[in-house]
A and B are shown apart, each in its own frame.
Chain A
Amino acid sequence: DTEVTQTPKHLVMGMTNKKSLKCEQHMGHRAMYWYKQKAKKPPELMFVYSYEKLSINESVPSRFSPECPNSSLLNLHLHALQPEDSALYLCASSHTGGSGYTFGSGTRLTVV
């Protein structure tokens, strides 16, 4: 298995909703990442997990809460989002040495 699987592919949520994005890989990668991509911009790093521990938080608002329950799964919990949070959210994984970066196809999030 050489893929990163993200679910759902599309999500529409209200500003008072709580939802979660899921990411899964079975390549034995011990580093996992969340990126946010706005229209016409490159992806921007949000969080990095290394060996299931949060190692980088790029000053992301607390309404985004990451979770890495095991070495294969990465979640992004969403609560009280704003319309400006609408974007494509990409998950990625890699070996901790930096090789083998693999991106999922993303979750298109719309906040209404």
Chain B
Amino acid sequence: SQELEQSPQSLIVQEGKNLTINCTSSKTLYGLYWYKQKYGEGLIFLMMLQKGGEEKSHEKITAKLDEKKQQSSLHITASQPSHAGIYLCGAALIRDNYGQNFVFGPGTRLSVLP
């Protein structure tokens, strides 16, 4: 099973609408990252959260890490066509004796209709 789960799997919204994407882990997160990716292109770093309860914003995107550090949400306000893409959460998780390992969620595909 996936170490990180994302919901929804895909999302279609009308331009101007707000939306939320969730990322859930069964393990404590030691750093939760949000990335955006256009099809076939590299990862675009959005923001990173480390402390429980932390919230960060950049332009119209806000991300929160819950107090127990096992879930994060990404909220987009007044969505625009430029927000379309695949949103991936990534996290450093404890892995056996090799220290921390970085894994990705399956991604949420966002389409914004003009």
Contact = CB atoms under 8 A, between A and B. Distances in A.
Contacts of A62: none
A54 B10 CA distance: 36
Contacts of A96: 99
Interface residues of B, number: 25
Contact of A50 (B40, B48, B99, B105): B99
Contacts of A41: 106-107
A17 B35 CA distance: 33
Contacts, number: 61
B103 interface: yes
Interface in B38-84: 39-43, 45, 48, 50
Contact of A42 (B39, B45, B50, B106): B106
Nearest to A56: B98
A94 B42 contact: no
Contacts of B101: 45, 48, 56
A42 B105 contact: yes
B43 to A, nearest CB: 5
Kindly state the interface size class of chain A when it binds its partner. Answer: 20 to 34
Given A33-B102, A50-B99, A108-B40, A42 B31 contact: no
B35 A103 contact: yes
Contacts of A101: 31, 33, 48, 90, 92, 102
A90 interface: yes
Given A48-B98, A56-B98, A96-B99, A103 B42 contact: yes
A33 B101 CA distance: 10
Interface string A63-84: 0000000000000000000000
Given A97-B99, A101-B33, A103-B45, 18 more contacts: A39-B39, A41-B107, A42-B105, A42-B106, A42-B107, A48-B101, A50-B99, A88-B42, A90-B43, A92-B102, A96-B99, A97-B100, A98-B92, A99-B50, A101-B31, A101-B92, A101-B102, A104-B42
24 contacts: A33-B102, A39-B39, A42-B104, A43-B104, A45-B103, A55-B98, A55-B99, A56-B98, A56-B101, A94-B92, A97-B100, A98-B31, A98-B100, A99-B31, A99-B50, A99-B92, A101-B31, A101-B48, A103-B42, A104-B42, A105-B42, A106-B41, A106-B42, A108-B40
